[in-house]
Structure 1
Amino acid sequence: MAKAKVLYSVTMSVDGFITGPGGDMQWIRPYLGPNPEVNELVPRIGSILVGRRSHDGDDPYKGEPGEGQAFGGGWDGPIFVVTHRPLADPEPGVTYVDDFAKALAAAKEAAGDKYVNVIGANIAKQCIEAGELDEVFLLYAPAMLGDGTRLFDHPGGHTVRLERISVTETAMATSLWFKVI
């Protein structure tokens, strides 16, 4: 049986930010249009691993159909939220875990032979530091934000080598898919 791969999928501005100031995700709305590569990826996701700040944060689908749902309602399955502040009454399908390694193990088990989709820069960084990130799927949006959350931030620097798997251009964004080496 194949094991789950850990994938960091994210949309990034040209200047390297995945959220705007204060965690703003509304900047992404113009780039949520059709993307065949995203459409092919979504059914290959077996679980989601996300940090509490990203899980509870601004929703690019705010006020739209799909608000509060993964991929705007395009995906349904188990979600594992890494947090030191679990909710007493969690929403259905969401498991709060207070330990990163335990959350990752549970997400991998739940994913089976599909992807564990990582959401959030901090969780992606923890996956990198643990040597557990397999791939990065980056949607490169034609916008500059000037401030916000960086795709990857490691004070003092830390090189993560990537090998390009594919590049796909759409009207909305350019998709870059990498294998972590």
Structure 2
Amino acid sequence: MAKVLYSVTMSVDGFIAGPGGDMQWMRPYLGPNPEVDALIPRIGSLLVGRRSHDGDDPHKGETGEGEAFGGGWSGPMYVVTHRVPDAPEPGVTYVNDFARALAAAKESAGDRYVNVIGANVAKQCIEAGELDEVLLLFAPVMLGDGTRLFDQAGGRTVRLERKSVTETALATSLWFDVV
């Protein structure tokens, strides 16, 4: 059965995108990462928010632009949106209902991961009790503003249990189970 994983690169001050959705801040930290390289073949499908899907690409102007993990992964992608395009792109399924999108992504993933991309979709997974794991790749930078990893008006505690810590020259990875 598929597990739902929120994997994301984050600044040390808690932002996953800079002001206006800027993802170019991430470029210096996209180097080799054995943990990410080992994760990619374990991903069966992607569950992506529309803003993340349509937004800035840290691989802009490079090979792999517009592709998941810079072209390192391919497979079924489910985009959660209230604005389904008239002419969808190949390989992408646009779904206007979160629960249906998650169910389809889990079915497609089989016994591999559904990898979540986007803070709002990750928040919906948490609210539905469907998030199983979190992989945080901490980049040694502070952005000061942007999109937070998890933002809940009034606050909310989500308990995590650390599974592993991996350090590379460019980032530190922390892998958690959601308790």
Bin for the TM-score computed over the shorter chain: over 0.9
Q: Does 1:170 align with 2:160?
A: no
Q: What's 1:6 paired with?
A: 4
The correspondence for 1:118, drawn from 106, 116, 119, is: 116
How far is 1:6 from its partner?
A: 0.1
How far is 1:87 from its partner?
A: 1.0
Q: Does 1:68 align with 2:66?
A: yes
The correspondence for 2:158, drawn from 129, 147, 160, is: 160
> Hey, what's the Cα distance between the residues in 1 that align with 2:85 and 2:109?
23
TM-score normalized by structure 1? 0.98
Q: Does 1:38 align with 2:36?
A: yes
Report the identity percentage: 82
3-state SS, counterpart of residue 7 of structure 1:
strand
The correspondence for 1:134, drawn from 132, 135, 141, is: 132
Q: Unpaired runs of 5+ in structure 2?
A: none
Q: Unpaired runs of 5+ in structure 1?
A: none
Q: Does 1:84 align with 2:82?
A: yes
Which runs of structure 1 show a deviation greater than 6 angstroms over 4 or more consecutive aligned residues?
none
> CA offsets per residue over residues 60-102 of structure 1, 9 Å max, x none?
0000000000000000000000001011111111000000000
3-state SS, counterpart of residue 165 of structure 1:
strand
Q: What's 1:54 paired with?
A: 52
Root-mean-square deviation over aligned CA pairs: 0.3
> CA offsets per residue over residues 116-139 of structure 1, 9 Å max, x none?
000000000000000000000000
> CA offsets per residue over residues 1-60 of structure 1, 9 Å max, x none?
xx0000000000010000000000000000000000000000000000001000000000
How many residues end up aligned between the 2 structures?
Answer: 179
TM-score normalized by structure 2? 1.00
> Hey, what's the Cα distance between the residues in 2 that align with 1:169 and 1:65?
26
